[in-house]
Amino acid sequence: MTASNEQRIALVTGASRGIGAEIAKALARQGRHVILSARNEEKLQEVHSQITSAGGTASVVVCDVTDHTALAKTIEDIAGQHKRFDILVNNAGITRDNLILRMTDEEFDQVIHTNLRSVFVACRAALRPMMRGKWGRVINIASVAGIVGNPGQANYAASKAGLIGLTKTIAKELAAKNITANVVAPGFTQTDMTDILPQQVKDFVLTATPLRRYGQPEEIAAAVAYLASEDAGFTTGQVLTVDGGMTMC
């Protein structure tokens, strides 16, 4: 199924599973044409089928965000094909956990390269067609680790803290062009990445979360859907934490 001329075009990276897949579904329910992007085409096609079966429209683009040249070209091609580019959700990311005294340069650089530099590249490419269309939404998925830190995740926390600074700068630079930029910072959310955590870590998470449960991917997606909506036109440069109260003052 292809987009109509009136539909907003949204790209979601890391859309093959978990939070990214639920974000894509939520945007499709809003009536957006969603471009699903990740490395695994088979899983992307599963999400695509779920969206179209529910009456939405979507397309699949296989792209590795760590290939920054290919990432920029993918965004340029999407904008050229659809004659517009409206919503960018940077969700793809990795972890390479280790205590800082044991963390290698490679582990640090891999996470920064994937989680932060790729977002810079994607935003730079997407902002040009957004400016031409005089409308845009940039939503970057960070983490509470970027706000309060997390033992064993110096690289990951640094990348997500960097996302917050990057997003606030974009918000200030592009506000006059009717383009908003915001961050959603999830707390511990039930995905296949958290399912494999040691039991003692899971127990600590529940103790540290006032709501005493993990978040659900659909709850993160709902926050993104709001920030991508027409109703969020006066919301920019914000960090929306969806964390069960973990970071409340």
Catalogue the active-site residues.
156
Residue 184 · residue 220 · CB < 8 Å: yes
Q: Strands 9-13 and 87-90, how do they pair? A: parallel
For the purposes of burial, counting CB atoms within 10 Å of the CB of 238, is it exposed (0-12), middle (13-18) or buried (19 or more)?
middle
Q: CA–CA separation, 100 vs 34, rounded Å?
A: 38
Q: What is the rounded radius of gyration, in angstroms, for the C-alpha atoms of the chain? A: 17
At 139, which helix (H) or strand (E)?
strand 136-141
